[in-house]
Amino acid sequence: MVRGPLCAFVVALALAVSGCGGEGGDTASSRERDKPTPSPSASYFVRADTDAINAAAVKAQRTGAAAQAAKQQRSCNKARERGYEQWRSCWRQLLDPFRKGLAGLASQVGTLAEREFSEDCVTSLQAAEATFTGFATQVDGLLRGIDSERRVAQVRALRIYNTTLGEISKSFAEPFQAVTQVCYSPKDLASINASPRSSPQPSPSESP
């Protein structure tokens, strides 16, 4: 779904990890991981919140990238020669994980929206949840076309396949950019905004 290194996306939410997906890190990062999990009533995002969204977001990214891979799509198109069920199964193997990844990301964001963050943060999280739920619904629409017994519906699903996934890709980072500006403490936000987008972001504070 997202072209380029996977870690390039996570900085859209300033997902503060040392390297992609939170892997690696120095002694300071290790000390951060050893600290207790923050209280669910924290006023701002802390490391645990960042890590939770990061895990869900990367899962959605990876499954989306697989669904857009040209080699995988060629394989599914060729599967038609073996019959409809093989063709259908191939496309489902690409789209089912992506739909579930998007739904899981929406659920994770929605869980955070139930916490006692600021009104602006909660509103932004709710909007993000709605956006990712909408993306999952769009992918589900492609699956319904592929599952249809009507050849015209199958053809239409494939005709809009790349356009649909491409639009999701283009809009994927926007909810995180909005959340970042209202869900981190002023200190963390100043550090986030001052950091180059291409480099790992500093860890948010462990306490509000």
Residue-wise pLDDT tens digits, 69-124:
999 999 999 998 888 999 999 999 999 999 999 999 999 999 999 998 999 999 99
Residue 1 lies in a domain: no
pLDDT confidence of 42, banded at 50, 70, 90?
Answer: low
Residue 60 lies in a domain: yes
Residue 166 lies in a domain: yes
Residue 205 lies in a domain: no
C-alpha–C-alpha distance, residues 193 and 196, integer Å: 8
pLDDT over 50 (residue 31): no
Work out the burial of residue 208: count CB atoms within 10 Å of its CB; fewer than 13 is exposed, 13-18 middle, 19 or more buried. middle
C-alpha–C-alpha distance, residues 91 and 64, integer Å: 13
Q: 15 is in which domain, residue-wise?
A: 7-35+44-194
Residue 62 lies in a domain: yes
Work out the burial of residue 144: count CB atoms within 10 Å of its CB; fewer than 13 is exposed, 13-18 middle, 19 or more buried. exposed
Domain count, the chain: 1
Contacts of range 74-79, beta carbons closer than 8 Å, 24 or more positions apart: none
pLDDT at residue number 164? 97
pLDDT at residue number 19? 32
Residue 206 lies in a domain: no
pLDDT at residue number 196? 58
pLDDT confidence of 157, banded at 50, 70, 90?
Answer: very high
Residue 160 lies in a domain: yes
**Helices (H) then strands (E): counts for the chain:** 10, 0
Taking residues 161-173, report their average pLDDT.
Answer: 95
pTM as predicted = 0.76
Sign of CA dihedral 201, 35, 38, 20: positive
Tell me the DSSP string of 88-132.
HHHHHHHHHHHHHHHHHHHHHHHHHHTSS--HHHHHHHHHHHHHH
Could you tell me which residue, 4 or 190, shows the higher pLDDT? 190
**What pLDDT, in 10s, does the model give residues 97-112?**
999 999 999 999 999 9
pLDDT at residue number 190? 87
Residue 207 lies in a domain: no
Sign of CA dihedral 18, 19, 22, 27: negative
pLDDT confidence of 36, banded at 50, 70, 90?
Answer: very low
Taking residues 41-50, report their average pLDDT.
Answer: 83
Q: What are the start-end ranges of the H helices in 1-83?
A: 7-10, 27-34, 47-68, 70-79
Taking residues 180-206, report their average pLDDT.
Answer: 69
